[in-house]
Structure 1
């Protein structure tokens, strides 16, 4: 047998394991292979009852939140913090998040993750969506900011560790987003890393378990604050087209790939981007690097799966959330009716499964950062982006 699996949650079997401590030593792996996985439940305050799975591959550490839609709360790589310092002190249990609060902005009450999903039935701003049903009758539904998936707990959770090279460690969870007279969507997510690696891999499957075709949206809200973000930091990607969400001053639009210092009272800026990718597999890459180009994080994904990219810049004061979001998605985070009119909503048929892959690479040396930027220059080629 080349792997071992530990099931920590399975509601179909009334199973829930409160705590677990695993390491490479427990499996008798070679001395050079070192990793550890811990599962525990947080207590006290708004985090009371939140299950966390902490994975340490020797260099990269990350905390998965099965209670919050399998998001990744925090991370670090060789001492480099990954995530941001949010006004919210989480992770916040979904029971304390009222999605309908403040006219549908309640999602922000729990928003402090490094990587959080928006979706699955909708994402983008709140409001009342209106459309025509399959029977020709008008339909409407209130939508809240960025959907429900980040505030739904996993109904299944398992840890898998390989006992042979490459000794990968995986956390798999299943989250159900369904209700009567509405779409039935199921997310099955696997987060994987390897001993001593600077990479993590997110492999998601979204299945329509209902009896009718269903619209679906998915966006990976990947958030970064200091020390990676700071004055002089930069965003780089192979860009075909870019447009601002709102009417910003010309200087802001011209400098959309660079970052200034924290500025109290500054409003968020959002840019919608279409990226270039490899000819064969449509693979693309987006990078955030620090001011000295000595540290960076790269996101790799397929444009056939996540064709639209959003850059979110919130360079307010650090107390108010100095953060930027690199956000590959199935559509832009406009209101759902706008994306429907533009033909960007994905529809999955009954029984169909949509697959999404996001790879995160962290570099803490100049050579690694240079390699990422060279890769972007190669994808960009001689093509200039359209604004």
Structure 2
């Protein structure tokens, strides 16, 4: 059965009310045509529940925007959805096209600060979010009483005489849902072991993020990345109002999984809309993402809270190698990642998740 607009319908009941199901839910592909966004392919998803989001095949099938019933779920930077043709791979050039969005993927061979490793110059956060996807498939169909919507495609990070990694991504949701699902498979098509660093940069913004917001997480240990974060460790899970000259902070979390080895985290705002409450939740598998990075940036205009499941830290590949924690994918090997991002639409739902987290 399908729950919509306070009522319940089966497939035939619903279809009798519309000329086409796209009246309620769809996945529609189009292209941006202006400025530094010109030529960027985009896909708008609408689920009928009020969850709408945009996926960019030209930017690695990342999620550039999301909203629920008109409420923005993510932070958007000033750059816009920059075409990959304008990618600046050196140093901090990655930031010139970092639109924020609900999901920006970092990797597949480098995450974190720029540097040099194994005689290779590495820019901030790697290339994954700037590689256009191929074999893109956008579609929808009924599966019994469920109407499924999806986009999938392949992103290949490769060089002649060098690495050869391919990632197949599928993003899907369904009619009436308040959750989107991301499923990635990263494969090494080369003949040598390849370094593999991978992080989901999930960026929550206003109005979910305010001075009333709180991070909910099953953290058994929280470690500041640097002195700036260490000085604010006592308030790691809270956010200030937009602050002049705020310096970004990052914290590493050791998480306790549930009985199925899943981690549930959320950024919530119980005071939203006169006490209605709202939040963004993230669910992932600890075996796939053994690490979690929290990014706290409460600056003016740069007002964002990052929820970041990962297989590494954010201090660059050389540091990961130095620590002996750098992961590799062997020739012919593959790594599988699944993440769910959902909406908590009330304080009752926030309380239910908090209770679930407290039991892990």
Does the TM-score normalized on the shorter chain lie above 0.5?
yes
Corresponding residue to 1:121 among 109, 113, 127: 109
1:172 maps to: 152
Residue 288 (structure 1) shift: 0.2
Instruction: Report the Cα distance in structure 1 between the residues aligned to 2:299 and 2:69, rounded to whole angstroms.
Output: 28
Corresponding residue to 2:338 among 349, 357, 374: 357
Change (3 A) 1:30 1:239: farther
Residue 29 (structure 1) shift: 4.9
SS at match of 1:248: helix
1:150 maps to: 129
Deviates more, 1:90-99 or 1:222-231: 90-99
The 5-angstrom pairing of residues 60-209 of structure 1 reads 60-88=51-79, 90-100=80-90, 104-112=91-99, 113-130=101-118, 140-164=119-143, 165-209=145-189
1:298 maps to: 281
1:47 maps to: 37
Instruction: Report the Cα distance in structure 1 between the residues aligned to 2:117 and 2:186, rounded to whole angstroms.
Output: 22
The CA deviation string for residues 48-104 of structure 1, in whole angstroms up to 9 with x for no partner, is 01000001011211100000011100011122212113132x10001122121xxx1
Change (3 A) 1:357 1:31: farther
Give the structure-2-normalised TM-score.
0.90
Corresponding residue to 2:299 among 291, 305, 316: 316
2:270/2:347 contact within 8 Å kept:
no
Residue 291 (structure 1) shift: 4.7
SS at match of 2:65: strand
Corresponding residue to 2:241 among 243, 261, 268: 261
- Consecutive unaligned residues of structure 1, counting only runs of 5 or more, are 1-24, 131-139, 380-387
Instruction: Report the Cα distance in structure 2 between the residues aligned to 1:377 and 1:30, rounded to whole angstroms.
Output: 44
Change (3 A) 1:42 1:244: same
Instruction: Report the Cα distance in structure 2 between the residues aligned to 1:117 and 1:249, rounded to whole angstroms.
Output: 23
Change (3 A) 1:203 1:31: farther
Instruction: Report the Cα distance in structure 2 between the residues aligned to 1:194 and 1:259, rounded to whole angstroms.
Output: 33
- Consecutive unaligned residues of structure 2, counting only runs of 5 or more, are 1-10
Change (3 A) 1:30 1:110: farther
Change (3 A) 1:29 1:177: farther
1:238 maps to: 218
Instruction: Report the Cα distance in structure 2 between the residues aligned to 1:163 and 1:358, rounded to whole angstroms.
Output: 23
What count of residue pairs does the alignment treat as equivalent?
337
Change (3 A) 1:31 1:339: farther
CA RMSD in angstroms, aligned pairs only? 1.7
1:121/1:183 contact within 8 Å kept:
no
Instruction: Report the Cα distance in structure 1 between the residues aligned to 2:306 and 2:322, rounded to whole angstroms.
Output: 25
SS at match of 1:180: coil
2:8 maps to: none
2:104/2:200 contact within 8 Å kept:
yes
Residue 286 (structure 1) shift: 1.0
Instruction: Report the Cα distance in structure 2 between the residues aligned to 1:176 and 1:217, rounded to whole angstroms.
Output: 15
Instruction: Report the Cα distance in structure 2 between the residues aligned to 1:189 and 1:29, rounded to whole angstroms.
Output: 30
Give the structure-1-normalised TM-score.
0.84
Instruction: Report the Cα distance in structure 2 between the residues aligned to 1:122 and 1:97, rounded to whole angstroms.
Output: 16
Instruction: Report the Cα distance in structure 2 between the residues aligned to 1:64 and 1:309, rounded to whole angstroms.
Output: 24
